[in-house]
Chain A
Amino acid sequence: GNSVTQMEGPVTLSEEAFLTINCTYTATGYPSLFWYVQYPGEGLQLLLKATKADDKGSNKGFEATYRKETTSFHLEKGSVQVSDSAVYFCALSPNDYKLSFGAGTTVTVRA
């Protein structure tokens, strides 16, 4: 079946630190891959996506590259801010209908 495994949190960082959240997936075919973010008290928002191998998604300084050979889609940001404190979810869509999510990683950035 389709599944997503992402790095467990919580992750606590200082401002301007480098952030990596690991995400690997299991899927048949060629799924689309996503990172969603959930800020406190809000719904899930799409952060970035990639639809085929070697695609790089980027937004708000975050990047993730679709690596088919390692079945990974790790999220990175070079210099985090306090406002990046949120829960981050890796997800895949095998058929462009439903999304399958990872467990979520809570990130706290301290000033």
Chain B
Amino acid sequence: EPEVTQTPSHQVTQMGQEVILRCVPISNHLYFYWYRQILGQKVEFLVSFYNNEISEKSEIFDDQFSVERPDGSNFTLKIRSTKLEDSAMYFCASTYRVAHEQYFGPGTRLTVT
């Protein structure tokens, strides 16, 4: 069964450093998402991406964040200058079309020290 994959599973970085979280969505999916979950808190929507552009973003997704689909398979989330409060589990998701099930990856745990 096709699945969404994410790398790395755990990333430790120092405050102020740039990180790139990588996702490989399911191959025939067209809509892509990033969510995050700070420990002990809700899963929060960050951004949705369709047709090579952002379709919606939350207030969390400020200028420090960017997303890209650099080739036909990867979908990346970049944080330019990490802050302590960026420490969270980041989930990638994809779906073939809206109103259909979003398939989630296993997540990347980001720890900013």
Contact = CB atoms under 8 A, between A and B. Distances in A.
Given A43-B91, A44-B91, A104 B42 contact: yes
B17 interface: no
Q: Categorize the interface residue count of chain A.
A: 20 to 34
A44 B104 contact: yes
B99 A46 contact: no
A99 to B, nearest CB: 6
A36 B58 CA distance: 21
Interface string A88-111: 010101001111111110000000
A89 B42 CA distance: 9
Contact of A98 (B33, B42, B104): B33
Contacts of B104: 36, 43-45
Interface in A21-57: 32, 36, 41-46, 49, 51
A46 B58 CA distance: 22
16 contacts: A36-B104, A42-B106, A43-B91, A43-B105, A44-B91, A46-B103, A51-B99, A91-B43, A96-B98, A97-B31, A97-B55, A97-B56, A98-B56, A101-B42, A102-B42, A104-B43
Given A96-B99, A101-B43, A101-B44, 15 more contacts: A42-B106, A43-B105, A43-B107, A46-B101, A46-B102, A97-B55, A98-B33, A98-B45, A98-B56, A101-B35, A101-B42, A102-B42, A103-B41, A104-B42, A104-B43
